[in-house]
Amino acid sequence: MFSPGISIGAELTNEEMRSLFKCGNMGGMRRSKQTGTLVIISDDTKGLYRDVWKNGVLHYTGMGKVGDQVLEGNQNETLYYSDTNGVEVHLFEVLQKAVYTYRGIVKLVDKPYKSTQPDDNGNMREVWMFPVMPISEMAQGISRELSEQEISKLSDKELARYASVKNVNKEPKTTETVVYYRDPYLKQLVKRIADGKCQYCGNDAPFLDKEGQPYLEEHHVVRLADGGKDVIDNVVAICPNCHRKMHVLKNETDLVVLTSIASHNRRQLEKYLGISEMYERKYKKHER
């Protein structure tokens, strides 16, 4: 491990930085084989790269001034693999011209991702973004959140290890949710039409609710959040298992089936209202 012998917050000139880290004196990412380091510089005064700090994480823009940035054959690749290639990444920030403020060693805290930013000619292009965090600011237990897919691939041991880390410092997430109005009469009507059986799988409702009614759930074929309407054409009554399935898989074939069930519900409603007979009578009148 290379120790530059300066403390975090130290302000260096370009030349001091170069001689300390034995790196080049140009560019925002400077690799030094001699010290085993990669110095990355987040320079606010240059204005080409749009680096942003979010919740203590610096989203650092990779190198490449013109055209799409690439990973291969440059320091973007070094940074990308810095978890495993043994290269220590040191961050400097430039907030006023030619003053390089040392932020210490940083580590990737999430997967690098692609974004778009204008290049040196003002054309929009693809850039690589590297979410890094100074290790001095990494409190216990803050590591990157794995995706559900990644979690499913962990070994039993890894999974147990992750599960036993108490994430006491994690803030609860608050999300804004829109609560759509759902017509209670419509809901009851559809359940009545279903007559105690799931309209999708045909099985009996799994249990009776507190009112002694077969427990089925109302489901909107096209979700209200996606612009679906709270009308009989769009509502079915299904069992909790099928309901979960619809929301988890969002399967096209299921959608077709549900749509036809919903239109059956509509015909049933018309029957209750006596509309269909009214239409028939009208029609017959015209015939005469």
Applying CB under 5 A, the span of 11-19, 43-51, 191-199, 279-287 interacting with Zn ion comes to 191-199
Minimum Å gap between C-beta 187 and Zn ion is 12
Judged by CB under 5 A, the residue of 59, 112, 200, 232 near Zn ion is 200
Minimum Å gap between C-beta 164 and Zn ion is 35
Cβ distance 105 to 2 under 8 Å?
no
Complex with Zn ion: residue 170 or 182, whichever CB lies closer: 182
Q: Does 198 bind Zn ion (CB under 5 A)?
A: yes
Q: Does 201 bind Zn ion (CB under 5 A)?
A: yes
Rounded Cα distance between 224 and 233, Å, is 13
Minimum Å gap between C-beta 280 and Zn ion is 34
Sequence letter at residue 215: Y
Q: Does 190 bind Zn ion (CB under 5 A)?
A: no
Judged by CB under 5 A, the residue of 76, 219, 221, 234 near Zn ion is 219
Residues 6 or more apart whose Cβ sits within 8 Å of residue 146 = 154, 162
Judged by CB under 5 A, the residue of 87, 205, 237, 239 near Zn ion is 239
Tokens of 107: 């580590």
Handedness of CA 216, 221, 226, 231 (dihedral sign): negative
Complex with Zn ion: residue 112 or 214, whichever CB lies closer: 214
Q: Does 258 bind Zn ion (CB under 5 A)?
A: no
Tokens of 145: 């959140």
Q: Does 106 bind Zn ion (CB under 5 A)?
A: no
Applying CB under 5 A, the span of 153-161, 174-182, 241-249, 272-280 interacting with Zn ion comes to 241-249
Cβ distance 228 to 182 under 8 Å?
no
Minimum Å gap between C-beta 236 and Zn ion is 9
Tokens of 248: 């988890």
Q: How many helices (H) and strands (E) does the chain have?
A: 8, 11
Cβ distance 191 to 237 under 8 Å?
yes
Residues forming a β-bridge with 132: 58, 108
Complex with Zn ion: residue 52 or 255, whichever CB lies closer: 255
Residues forming a β-bridge with 193: none
* DSSP H or E run through 254: helix 252-273
Minimum Å gap between C-beta 152 and Zn ion is 24
Applying CB under 5 A, the span of 6-14, 23-31, 45-53, 190-198 interacting with Zn ion comes to 190-198
Structure-token match 């509502």, residue found: 235
Complex with Zn ion: residue 30 or 243, whichever CB lies closer: 243
Judged by CB under 5 A, the residue of 242, 258, 261, 262 near Zn ion is 242
Applying CB under 5 A, the span of 67-75, 118-126, 201-209, 248-256 interacting with Zn ion comes to 201-209
DSSP 3-state assignment of 147? coil
Rounded Cα distance between 104 and 144, Å, is 19
List residues near Zn ion by CB under 5 A.
198, 200-201, 219, 239, 242
